[in-house]
Structure 1
Amino acid sequence: MQYLPNILFLIALLAGIGFFAFNVRKLVRNIKMGRDVDVSDHKPQRWKNMAKIALGQYKMVRRPVSGIIHVLVYLGFVIINIEVLEIIIDGLFGTHRIFSFMGGFYDFLIASFEVFGFLVLVGVILFWLRRNIIRIKRFWHKELNGWPKLDANLILYFEMVIMCLFLTMNAADLQLQLQGAEHYSSSAGITGSFPISQFIAPFFENMDISSLIILERTAWWLHILGILFFLNYLYYSKHLHILLAFPNTYFGRVRPQGQFDNLQSVTDEVKLMMDPDADPYATPEGEDDLEVPAKFGASDATDLNWVQLLSAYTCTECGRCTSECPANQTGKKLSPRKIMMDTRDRIEEIGKNIDDNKGIFKDDGKQLLNDYITPEELWACTTCNACVEACPVSINPLSIIMDMRQYLVMEQSAAPAELNNAMTNIENNAAPWPFNQMDRANWINE
């Protein structure tokens, strides 16, 4: 019976980590359903982007209020999670504050954990107020109705509870030390420094030692179990960006924003047309080696490349992209955030289909185009890259929009009439305007 708590802790730890590993494996499987793409270029720039954007939170602080709060919460969780290592060791071996041998440095660490824990609690409350009381406009778009809105608030509640449990645990621990409880007190004096929980501890001073132990152990268990639960909840939440922001910023776009991808097969065809010495009926050299795509563009999530699917899972639904989108601002249906959310929902639906059918995808009669994203949304985009520039974790909704537009034009000939007229004029007149090539320079005489 003496080791029962340690055994139970080990079981909980293994279960939490095991389920997390299962979800990670499923996540990687879903992302790999995308087309392969070469992202081995510009490695120094990619490492720089990851350090600057993901680690340094460079783009977050462009909006100072939310950015600074987010940085505090981000730093708080990173620093506080160092303490989780001590909790795990104490839980496995039944020790009490195993790192206390560090002396003054340990006191500094515990004090830092408490200060940042309090800042996280304050930051999370401010986020909740901005979302639910102040009602910042970008948090109230229709694509957030239902689960996305509930998910955002659940995360805030989780974080509040975890921080409160952390401070309660420390306050009870401090009171136990002050009362000289066995296992908690030390001949060297108070173990740790408690700048925040010292103000909570007096609320427990009238409790007897057995009641304090129950309180401290309850807060301790709920705190660590809450962390394990939160870790596994990430897969089902918009907070998956906590894990994916780093790879996404590394694999993000490094080329100029205005440079679009061209299909090699189309490029070769254009070069052939523009070569006056070329024989249009000759078989192009190396034709057998050319990889002609089975489909031009993308109509479903699996037609996108894996970096785009990674970005869909990385999206934190903050809405900065949509709030900067000129099309959305003028009342168009396009919302870059919705593009990413729809892509993630569709690839999740495909993954679930595969799971339900023992590893085989059975046609469900759906696709990303039309069932999730309408042509009206796609053609509303001005390709200005405002959404790409605004994203704090290097997500590129425009790349998905352009791939789906490409499908509409090259596979379905479904471009808007105005665009079809312009393309016809370019083909016939080498200009988007409907006049003869010989008349192109007549404006000089005016």
Structure 2
Amino acid sequence: MNYLDNILFAILLFFGFGYFYNSVRKIRRNIKLGIEVDRYDNPKARWTNMAMIALGQSKMVKKPIAGILHIIVYVGFIIINIELLEIIIDGLFGTHRIFAFLGTTYDVLIASFEILAGLVLIAVFAFWSRRNVIKLKRFVSSDLKGWPKNDGNYILYFEVVIMTLFLLMNASDLHLQNVPGGFSHYIPVGVFPISQFIEPIFNGLSNELVMVLYEVFWWFHIAGILIFMNYLYFSKHLHILLAFPNTYFANLHPQGQFDNLESVTKEVKLMMDPNVDPFAAAPVDENATVSKFGASDIQDLNWVQLLNAYTCTECGRCTSACPANITGKKLSPRKIMMDTRDRMEEVGRNIDANKGVFVPDNKSLLNDYITPEELWACTSCNACVEECPVNISPLSIIMDMRRYLVMEQSAAPMPVNAMMTNIENNGAPWQYNQQDRLNWKNEN
């Protein structure tokens, strides 16, 4: 590389990482639109969660075939990008395989990278077949269409191109290393268990042409990585980064344990306190903000729920396990998360367009994205939470939106309203007088 190449490479890195940094800032800004919630307790359990679930992929392997394939792609993609460090140094300073001085260690690393690249290509082909040939039900569901459906394939194509360029880069390098008497700075280094079988395609070409091809593969490989990195913001594969904080900040309470609204708890305690005059006027705090029961838009959700939405992998495991969805109801937990993310992005664009201030747009997550029919179809069984490979909780969003419907709009379905009326009047869900509740024992 000459100095001009070094400068061009530095510019490419600057814009690639600069755009990525700007995307990260937007994600952080959008997540912080949510209500503050304390998820910093019990750090030991949280670190364990992250290590086991995000790093160890413990929930992925519940479906062994998909889990193993995912681990191959995950490990391969992460480890292979260790070579990105060498590429950056070579690109900035005009060196070639700067870590070659590591000797045997370098040989082992390059060989490992190549084997993983080959395994990744095999796994990607299997994933592509599952989506486009076998057409697993959770990948062809009605809630996964348009961009989300195509995005899964785009990612697979990205990975094929990046891994193929990596192997072609190594194969052309190996060819130049084998030139009798040596050629330029291509000294014999590294072990290439996969690209050695590709190297013969360069036989018959001039050394100068092969060197040009090596440069082309090198440039397109690093450009592909930077493009992929910035594509993550628009893709479900943002979970590559967010799975770690998402599992760390996940709810540690037992599944099925719901949080109580502080304002409601306080009201009930006052009602049950014999020392409180029920007819006395409550003191007015002029600085207090009027609390909203439940959630109708993303600003009413907490920041962990918004982090959940960005982390969603759209794998559909939640929806395929949902009993309401299985029985034909409109509910899809995956769609709940996708809709939340889409609304969050819409609010973010509104803020960008109005110089950092959200201007009401007469839209909300409830009704414009998620319908009451979907919310009331939920059985609150926690199957979606149990199945999610990165500890996302669609149920928490569903329950908060239900609270809004019941407590703010009195818009519960008729059977639910009847049940609540019976509990209020009779102390039980059934429409029987309290005095008659034990009559069953007198029946033969």
TM-score, shorter chain, exceeding 0.5: yes
Q: What is the aligned partner in structure 2 of residue 115 from structure 1?
A: 115
Deviation at 1:47, TM superposition (A): 0.8
Alignment partners' CA distance in 2, 1:182 and 1:302: 62
Equivalent residue, structure 1, for 2:342: 345
* 1:329 has 2:326 as partner: yes
Deviation, structure 1 residue 435: 1.3
Choose the corresponding residue for 2:435, options 430, 434, 438. 438
2-structure distance, mates of 1:272, 1:443: 36
SS state at 2:81 partner: helix
Aligned equivalents of 1:111, 1:424: Cα separation in 2: 70
Q: Which residue of 2 aligns with 1:366?
A: 363
Q: Helix, strand or coil for the counterpart of 2:143?
A: helix
Deviation digits for residues 84-137 of structure 1 (CA, Å, limit 9, x no counterpart): 101111111111111011111110000000000111111111100100010000
Q: Partners of 2:286 and 2:46 in 1: how far apart?
A: 31
Number of the residue aligned with 1:173: 173
Q: How many corresponding residue pairs?
A: 442
1:343–1:368 contact (8 Å) kept in structure 2:
yes
Determine whether 1:388 maps to 2:388.
Answer: no
Shift of 1:141: 1.2
**Aligned position for 2:306:** 309
Name the counterpart of 2:137.
Answer: 137
2:425 paired with 1:400: no
- Cα offsets for 1:129-176 (capped at 9, x unmatched): 100010000001122211111111111100000000000000000000
Conserved in 2, the CA contact under 8 Å of 1:173 and 1:184?
no
Q: Deviations over 1:268-309 (max 9, x none)?
A: 22233334554323467x985996653111101111111000
Q: Is the 8 A contact 1:176 1:184 kept in 2?
A: no
- Contact 2:173/2:186, CA 8 A, preserved across alignment: no
RMSD value, Cα: 1.6
Q: How much has 1:78 moved relative to structure 2?
A: 1.3
CA distance in 2, matches of 1:293, 1:63: 46
Report the more deviating stretch, 425-434 or 321-330: 425-434
> Is contact 2:293-2:407 (8 Å) kept?
yes
State the partner residue of 1:185: 186
Contact 1:139 1:319 in 2 (8 A): yes
TM alignment of 1:199-348, pairs within 5 A: 199-276=197-274, 278-282=276-280, 288=285, 293-348=290-345
Is 1:265–1:290's contact at 8 Å kept on the other side of the alignment?
no
Percent identity reads 67
Q: Which runs of 5+ in 1 are unaligned?
A: none
1:357 matched to 2:358? The reply is: no
Between the aligned partners of 1:233 and 1:300, the Cα distance in structure 2 is 27
Distance 1:170 1:41 in 2: 48
In the alignment, the residues of structure 2 paired with residue 104 and residue 283 of structure 1 have an alpha-carbon distance, to the nearest angstrom, of: 81
Q: In the alignment, does 2:376 pair up with 1:375?
A: no
TM-score (ref. length: structure 1):
0.96
Contact 2:2 2:94 in 1 (8 A): no
Deviation, structure 1 residue 248: 0.3
1:56-88 deviation line (CA, Å, top 9, x unaligned): 000000001111000010010111011110111
Among 411, 423, 438, the residue aligned to 1:426: 423
SS in structure 1 at match of 2:107: helix
> In structure 2, what is the equivalent of residue 52 of structure 1?
52
Could you tell which deviates more after superposition, 433-442 or 317-326? Answer: 433-442
Q: Write out per-residue CA displacement over residues 229-286 of structure 1, whole angstroms, 9 at most, x where no aligned residue.
A: 00000000010000100000000110011111111121122233334554323467x9
Structure 2-normalised TM-score? 0.97
**Within 1, Cα distance between the matches of 2:18 and 2:157?**
25
